[in-house]
Amino acid sequence: MKLPKNNWGLKLPWLALLLAMAAANAYAVPPNEIVRSNSPLIFNGPCCSFSGEKVFVTEPATPVPVIVSWSEDFTNSGGIDALATLYFVIGLSVNGGPCQAYGSQAVYPVNFVPFLSRTYRWAVFPTDGPPANKLHKGSNSFELCSGGTDPDLGPQSQTILQNTMSVRLVE
């Protein structure tokens, strides 16, 4: 049997496979841009305590915005009327700066539900934050911070079980 000279029927599947592999590599996340923890994090007291969990991204010569994503399984406890009123705030410390909100930050409990899951996506722009902690050319760090919102409620505690955090440049 003689095959035609222009045998696209055999070449197209290989071409599609090569393109799929290239696309998958384009979306791979470098190891310093993602962290996953299965060890509990416990935040006690008012805002803000730092978690020690950090991700890093390398900015080009002209910094661009980044998206930081964070997911958690958590429970809140403590306070005078914890099930009705207690909530925590979650924020980011950029380049060692203060704990700040870059979008959604409230972690509310739901009555009689022991553990909940939440996902946050924050946009951090090169103009955000104090001058010493703004996004800059080179390596930039992002650390999770959290704490209770009202010290008058009494002892407050938030336990974060499994969580993941990642950062990506917006190009």
Examine residue 18 and state whether it is found in any structural domain, yes or no: no
pLDDT 10s digits, 83-120: 444 667 788 999 999 988 887 766 666 555 667 778 88
pLDDT 10s digits, 6-45: 655 555 565 455 545 444 444 566 777 877 777 777 777 6
- On whether the CB atoms of residues 146 and 90 are closer than 8 A, the answer is yes
Cα dihedral: 32, 34, 37, 38 (round 10): -130
Does the N-terminal peptide bond of residue 47 adopt cis geometry, omega within 30 degrees of 0? Answer: no
The set of residues, in sequence order, having a beta carbon less than 8 Å from that of 149 and lying 6+ positions away, is: 46, 47, 87, 88, 89
Examine residue 94 and state whether it is found in any structural domain, yes or no: yes
When the pLDDT of each residue in the chain is averaged and rounded to a whole number, the result is 75
Confidence tier at 81 by pLDDT (50, 70, 90): very low
Examine residue 142 and state whether it is found in any structural domain, yes or no: yes
User: Is residue 151's pLDDT more than 90?
Assistant: no
Signed CA dihedral, 154, 155, 160, 166: sign only:
positive
- For 151, left (φ over 0), alpha (ψ -120 to 50), or beta? alpha
Examine residue 55 and state whether it is found in any structural domain, yes or no: yes
Helix (H, G, I), strand (E, B) or coil at 20: helix
Position 42 scores a pLDDT of: 72
Strands (E), 1-137: 34-37, 41-44, 49-59, 66-78, 88-94, 99-100, 106-107, 116-124
Which domain covers residue 141, as residue numbers? Answer: 31-169
Length of the chain, in residues? 171
Average pLDDT over residues 122-136: 92
Examine residue 38 and state whether it is found in any structural domain, yes or no: yes
Considering its fold, how many domains does the chain have in total?
Answer: 1
- On whether the CB atoms of residues 100 and 92 are closer than 8 A, the answer is yes
Using CA atoms, how far apart are residues 157 and 109, in angstroms rounded to an integer?
12
Examine residue 118 and state whether it is found in any structural domain, yes or no: yes
Average pLDDT over residues 63-70: 93
Residue given tokens 């306070």 in the structure block: 79
- On whether the CB atoms of residues 87 and 116 are closer than 8 A, the answer is no
Examine residue 157 and state whether it is found in any structural domain, yes or no: yes
User: Is residue 169's pLDDT more than 80?
Assistant: yes
Examine residue 3 and state whether it is found in any structural domain, yes or no: no
Position 11 scores a pLDDT of: 56
* CATH value at residue 71: 2.60.120.1340
